[in-house]
């Protein structure tokens, strides 16, 4: 990632918690959930079928290009630079608006490891 990915004031594509929850129930096979929080945070609570990959260790070769990528973090700040990097490499990528905090607020499904 580049420093401008962290500092840029341009917006990134987002998906709401409600829309993601609906898509997961209807077409989950087209989505790849990339949780960029620390692995410890992910182990405590994460969206089912999400993949843990710290914001500082994202490896694009492990991310499928044929799926819509949803980047998840706690408040939608760490996911922003990852989404920008993915978009720059041709991925269809979005960040979860409000992050896990809004997901939890709506009481949508989570898992613990």
pLDDT digit string, tens, across residues 18-75: 999 999 999 878 999 999 999 999 999 999 999 999 998 899 999 999 999 999 999 9
Whichever domain contains 7, its CATH number is 3.40.250.10
**Cα separation, 13 vs 93, whole angstroms:** 7
Give the count of domains, the chain.
1
Residue 111: inside a domain: no
What's residue 6's pLDDT? 53
Q: Give the structural domain span for 67.
A: 3-105
Strand order in 51-52's β-sheet?
Answer: 14-15, 92-96, 68-72, 31-35, 51-52
């Amino acid at each position: 990632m580049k420093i401008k990915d962290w500092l840029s004031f341009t917006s990134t594509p987002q998906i709401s918690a409600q829309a993601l929850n609906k898509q997961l129930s209807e077409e989950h096979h087209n989505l790849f959930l990339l949780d960029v929080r620390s692995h410890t945070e992910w182990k405590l609570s994460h969206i089912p079928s999400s993949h843990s990959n710290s914001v500082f260790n994202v490896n694009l070769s492990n991310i499928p290009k044929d799926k819509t990528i949803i980047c998840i973090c706690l408040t939608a700040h760490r996911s922003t630079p990852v989404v920008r990097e993915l978009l720059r490499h041709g991925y269809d990528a979005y960040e979860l608006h409000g992050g896990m905090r809004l997901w939890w607020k709506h009481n949508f499904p989570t898992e613990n490891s």
